[in-house]
Structure 1
Amino acid sequence: MSSLSPSLREPFAITHATVVIGDANGTTLHDTTVIVGGDGRIERIAPSIATPIPDGYRMLDATGKTVTPGLINAHVHLFSEGRPLNPKMATPRGQRITATIMHSPVGKPYLKARAKASVMTLLRSGVTTIRTLGDVGYEAVELRDRIADGHMVGPRILAAGPLLAIPEGHGAPLIALTGETPEDMARNTRENLAHGVNAIKIAATGGVTDAQRLGEAGSPQMTVDQMRAICDVAHEAGVIVAAHAQSPEGVKRALLAGVDTIEHGSALDDAMIELFRHNPHSLRGWSALIPTMSAGLPMTELGQDVTGITDIQLANARTVVAGMLAGAEDAHDAGLRVGVGTDTAMTFVTQYNTWRELDLLVKRAGFTAAEALHAATLGDAEILGVAGETGSVEAGKAADLLVLDANPLLDLRALKQPALVIADGRPLWHPQVKRFDDIDALLDRAYDE
């Protein structure tokens, strides 16, 4: 394939490709040409034998290769690479110290550089749209705007800024704004919106990473009224709301409040399933599940000598992960909307391994490869409200595309190293990422057994 400029858009055609369009049925087009205009939009998809290449369009011969939509990761953090987090830094005191450093004149430039590096790693690994769900400040908003303005090539970003929590609740104070009353929650939501966020995150329950006592992970931390105040303000602005929820009670409260996505999740009963299907207080009348199995399984399937987590974290993780796996399977069996997010930056959740979440949906939740790829492309796009722009190989949409050496419907590991990533019509040739071979080897052994 001849090369294009990595920064400027120019019209091109990918010819003689196998094209997986991104639907749940795994619709595949053989010997197909995808024509992309100079505006970065897909102009036409048609059989190569009957499709002439317009004058002035560069031809990229993709014989033997597969084209898919770019992946979407609906749950990322940008502050770390995915190496094990220090348990001492997860305590309230540790978070306060870290927050002070990150907001200092020394910390702010580091944080911006770390966030940019994370975004570029995600992109080079094949992720062309991300949603951040818990930022130290508004560094993701700044990156989103730089990318949208054409100052840098990057993925489409939905940026949440700091999540919303109770004092010393999950994520506080490092990546959270805190409050106690519904009025506090509404005010903090407005503050995030005033900073330009286009996503909102709630800590509905305690979490594994910063839990300091047995049972804290999954224990409800917000009332329905507190979360409803957040949802009302966000929805008035047309912004969807995610809720970290790791227990049946936490999930139920968040759904009753009107959240649009449940992050992590739990086993689902009939009443919860019905709320996912028909949620009168959500923005679009339904809610979706983002299981994030990549974030939970390493803590329970790798030894503490490897992960570095505490006994309390491990005990909490076992309970939460069991519920997370059950919830993903329950949601799939019920035909609910299930998306893909990995919780990047958490222990052993690298910025480049989004493909593993698809693999886990197949191995642990009963998905087919086509359903998993759909969840990470058009499914996520519909959940995030960007399906008009991206998520499938379809005329009129942005050219967010991957060119792969093999068909991921036959082996999802084909997604591990794209030959070419195209973001909004801009190509990244031979994209490479910094990999952690020790982490990858451990995860390979844990998940392939």
Structure 2
Amino acid sequence: MKTVYIHGILLDGSENMEPQTGMAVITEGEKIITIEPQQSAYEGAQVVDLKGQYIMPGLINLHVHLPANGKPKKKQSDPKKLVKLMTSNNFLRKIMLKMCEGYAKTQLMSGVTTIRTVGGVEDVDTKIRDAVLTGRIDGPRILAGNMAISVPGGHMAGSLAYEATSPEQARSFVRQIAKDKPDLIKLMITGGVLDAKVKGEPGELKMSPEIVKAACEEAHALGLQVAAHVESPQGVQVALENGVDTIEHGAMPSAEIIQLFKDRKACQVATLSPALPYALFDRAVSHVSEMEQYNGKVVFDGIVECAKECLANGIPVGLGTDTGCPYITHYDMWREVNYFHKFCGVSNAFALYTATKRNAELVGIGDQTGSIEAGKCADFIVTEKNPLEDLTALRKVTLVVARGKRYTDPQVKKMPEVEQALDQFI
């Protein structure tokens, strides 16, 4: 049966989108079959009256870690110990899988119809991806990364990432990860804010250029893109010089780095959300040290400037939340879109375009989703207000449609302390 969405104000996801009235979006199964001027009647079709609300493509979150929920912490936990416990027997593995399935569904219920996971536990991400695709569970489309590759002492080493000690071992880990048919390979090239030992030097280079190059060559030979955690200029340069496709996070760029982006046809996936609490929160709220706050500001400013310079030079920028970091929940992709507008100076329309059509194009699924066009998947959301006027309209969606399946009045359980802390930065 065809489904016809009428009386909606259409935002199609294009770069210069403007509200379109009087149009009907017609779907059949998982696909949008046409967008046409609304007719007076549609016999034999199910009609959904949107009553003047705004219909737009579902959001796409390009940087997600499913095993964590973003709950604030007063002190650092040991991810290596936690992962070791949760993978110690089949019972705990099943609990972990169910937990991650729930987090994936939360993304969907918040209006995110596609996620890209960039570091998970074992093969959990691909298992959930496949369960969603076969209809066994509800969730967004997932581009799955499974385990990442780090080095001893590197970012997330031993928890969400294998520890490679040589180029040969890095190649071996790529092949091992590829057995579960992931959609990308993730490298942890530098440390992060909490890994830093010196004030003013976050993002210390951890992975050697030789290991980066070997991993990229092996991944590309298998037809897989490489994403890399990078939070320093040195790390960005090493990543781009040795074959990385997407720079996750970013750092203050030099002219040489901008040229490398162009030469490699690479892009930045900006993640403003995780750095903001470290950089801008009162330390009584964030519970970080003065050094960690200082380094957080270095990283935050670096991500912002990298995005601005990339955009100014015609280099594409995508968006993701880095969900799982403290204060970064599975329902707050709308905040990342808003931060992009607020801190990088882009228009509301460009921010929404980036979180939909541009994000889809950057990861090779632009022919499937990201905009409301005939032939693409029926992935869209509905809001009462117009996000082109105020991006906080995305905070509450009244309808989610994913691969043609409707979820009316979707609900997510929110964390009041997170809402209170982050709302100051809207």
TM range (shorter): over 0.9
For 1:101 and 1:311, locate their aligned partners in 2 and report how far apart those are by CA, in whole Å. 32
Q: Is the Cα contact below 8 Å between 1:140 and 1:159 reproduced in 2?
A: yes
1:82 alignment counterpart: 70
For 1:236 and 1:27, locate their aligned partners in 2 and report how far apart those are by CA, in whole Å. 41
Q: Is the Cα contact below 8 Å between 2:115 and 2:140 reproduced in 1?
A: yes
Correspondence 1:47 to 2:26: no
Correspondence 1:236 to 2:203: no
Deviation at 1:299, TM superposition (A): 1.2
Please show how residues 10-409 of structure 1 align to structure 2 within 5 Å: 10-37=1-28, 39-49=29-39, 53=42, 55-85=43-73, 87-89=75-77, 94-105=78-89, 106-214=91-199, 217-279=202-264, 286-409=265-388
Deviation at 1:212, TM superposition (A): 4.8
Aligned residue identity for 1:139? V
1:29 counterpart SS class? coil
Q: Is the Cα contact below 8 Å between 2:245 and 2:266 reproduced in 1?
A: yes
> Percent of aligned pairs with the same residue?
35
Between stretches 391-400 and 230-239, larger displacement belongs to 230-239
Between stretches 134-143 and 319-328, larger displacement belongs to 319-328
Between stretches 244-253 and 312-321, larger displacement belongs to 312-321
Aligned residue identity for 2:130? D
Aligned residue identity for 1:345? G
2:162 counterpart SS class? strand
For 1:312 and 1:114, locate their aligned partners in 2 and report how far apart those are by CA, in whole Å. 33
For 1:160 and 1:209, locate their aligned partners in 2 and report how far apart those are by CA, in whole Å. 23
Deviation at 1:213, TM superposition (A): 4.9
- In structure 1, runs of 5+ residues without a counterpart are 1-9, 280-285
Q: Is the Cα contact below 8 Å between 1:95 and 1:172 reproduced in 2?
A: no
1:414 alignment counterpart: 393
Deviation at 1:239, TM superposition (A): 1.5
2:7 counterpart SS class? strand
Deviation at 1:215, TM superposition (A): 5.4
1:35 counterpart SS class? strand
Aligned residue identity for 2:57? P
Residue-by-residue CA offset, 1:31-74 (whole Å, 9 max, x unaligned): 2100001x21000001214x752x43200112311110000000
1:431 counterpart SS class? coil
Residue-by-residue CA offset, 1:168-197 (whole Å, 9 max, x unaligned): 200111111111211111111111101221
Q: Is the Cα contact below 8 Å between 2:74 and 2:286 reproduced in 1?
A: no
1:255 counterpart SS class? helix
Between stretches 77-86 and 144-153, larger displacement belongs to 77-86
1:129 counterpart SS class? strand
RMSD over aligned CA atoms reads 1.6
For 2:19 and 2:259, locate their aligned partners in 1 and report how far apart those are by CA, in whole Å. 33
2:315 counterpart SS class? coil
2:319 counterpart SS class? coil
- In structure 2, runs of 5+ residues without a counterpart are none
2:253 counterpart SS class? coil
Aligned residue identity for 2:30? G
Deviation at 1:162, TM superposition (A): 1.2
Alpha-carbon spacing, 1:374–1:267, altered in 2? closer, same or farther (3 Å): same
For 1:56 and 1:318, locate their aligned partners in 2 and report how far apart those are by CA, in whole Å. 57
Aligned residue identity for 1:138? D
Aligned residue identity for 1:142? K
Q: Is the Cα contact below 8 Å between 1:267 and 1:326 reproduced in 2?
A: yes
1:375 counterpart SS class? helix
For 1:196 and 1:242, locate their aligned partners in 2 and report how far apart those are by CA, in whole Å. 16
Q: Is the Cα contact below 8 Å between 1:25 and 1:370 reproduced in 2?
A: yes
1:12 counterpart SS class? strand
Deviation at 1:322, TM superposition (A): 1.8
Alpha-carbon spacing, 1:19–1:77, altered in 2? closer, same or farther (3 Å): same
2:355 counterpart SS class? helix
Q: Is the Cα contact below 8 Å between 2:196 and 2:203 reproduced in 1?
A: no
For 2:255 and 2:18, locate their aligned partners in 1 and report how far apart those are by CA, in whole Å. 32
Aligned residue identity for 2:44? G
Deviation at 1:238, TM superposition (A): 1.9
Aligned residue identity for 2:366? A
> How many residues get paired?
425
Aligned residue identity for 2:31? R
Q: Is the Cα contact below 8 Å between 1:36 and 1:42 reproduced in 2?
A: yes
Residue-by-residue CA offset, 1:397-440 (whole Å, 9 max, x unaligned): 00001011111111111111111000000111110000112211
Q: Is the Cα contact below 8 Å between 1:125 and 1:433 reproduced in 2?
A: yes
Alpha-carbon spacing, 1:234–1:56, altered in 2? closer, same or farther (3 Å): farther
Correspondence 1:432 to 2:411: yes
For 2:292 and 2:161, locate their aligned partners in 1 and report how far apart those are by CA, in whole Å. 20
Deviation at 1:81, TM superposition (A): 1.5
Residue-by-residue CA offset, 1:305-339 (whole Å, 9 max, x unaligned): 21222344323212211211211221222222111
1:225 counterpart SS class? helix
For 1:172 and 1:134, locate their aligned partners in 2 and report how far apart those are by CA, in whole Å. 11
For 1:188 and 1:129, locate their aligned partners in 2 and report how far apart those are by CA, in whole Å. 26
TM-score, length basis structure 2:
0.96
Q: Is the Cα contact below 8 Å between 1:87 and 1:310 reproduced in 2?
A: no
